[in-house]
Amino acid sequence: MDELGFHRVLHRPGTLLDVGAHDGGFTLPFAALPGSRVLAFEPLPESFARLRAAAGGLAHVTLRQEALGDATGEAVLRLPVVDGVANEQWASMAKGYDRYGPHVGERQVTVPLRRLDEFGLDDLTAVKLDAEGAEYEVLRGGAVTLRRCRPILSIEIEERHRVGSTWAVPAFLDALGYDGFWEHWGEWRPMAQFDRATMQVASPDPSVFGASDPYIFVFYFLPREQAPALLDRLRKAEAAG
């Protein structure tokens, strides 16, 4: 089951949050789910322009050209530029790219920064988070909302973007009453069974593409009080094909 499948199986009507929306790969499928209202954040101007072109005409989709974090103000996004080509999907508030040699450059963009808790959401049912190492800050800035709404979460967490993040993010969510899982070949396993030494080996250099097999980087978090029932739904959906 892929990340979108997770959200489709466990979908509930309400607000679905897409953090790091890029050009709408999740925003548009979220918008197609019944009873959904989508709130999508994409701070990069070029990516946001494509996102607005793809989803800006949908009345139940709100697009914000902002980054989320644990403060309000501005943040600097750093993009790697490999052989003259900017990699938007690796834009990060948590790391830089000026140390990988002459083949990799860095472009910096100052963007507005907000906290999720500022928006006062009371119907948040699902979160997709892809922040290239800034996941902890995004979650910390939304802790009140997570406690109040108890959404399901899918989060990309990679040690190559921020060392220690596969420990820190699950620990933060554990304190909020969330259980973490990862999926591989149809098996849903708890975070305790995740082996960082073999399942997440990759270079932080954006010009180096090799990675471990498997490379597990999408993790799923369920409210502890609902986790057994939600896991059962996911496993039944996997079995049904």
pLDDT in single tens digits along all 241 residues of the chain:
999 999 999 999 999 999 999 999 999 999 999 999 999 999 999 999 999 999 988 999 999 999 999 999 999 999 999 988 999 999 999 999 988 888 899 999 999 999 999 999 999 999 999 999 999 999 999 999 999 999 999 999 999 999 999 999 999 999 999 999 999 999 999 999 999 999 999 999 999 988 999 999 999 999 999 999 999 999 999 988 7
What's the pTM?
Answer: 0.96
Quote the pLDDT of residue 66.
98
Closest CA to 65 of 129, 22, 30, 123: 22
Indicate the number of domains in the chain.
Answer: 1
Tokens 């996997």 belong to which residue? 238
How far is Cα 236 from Cα 133, in angstroms, rounded to an integer? 32
Give the SS3 label for residue 175. Answer: helix
Give 94-136 as a DSSP string. S---TTS-TTEEEEEEEEEEE-GGGG--S-EEEEEE--TT-HH
- For residue 16, what is the domain's CATH number? 3.40.50.150
Residue 213 burial (CB count, 10 A): 8
Q: Which domain holds residue 166?
A: 3-240
How far is Cα 135 from Cα 157, in angstroms, rounded to an integer? 7
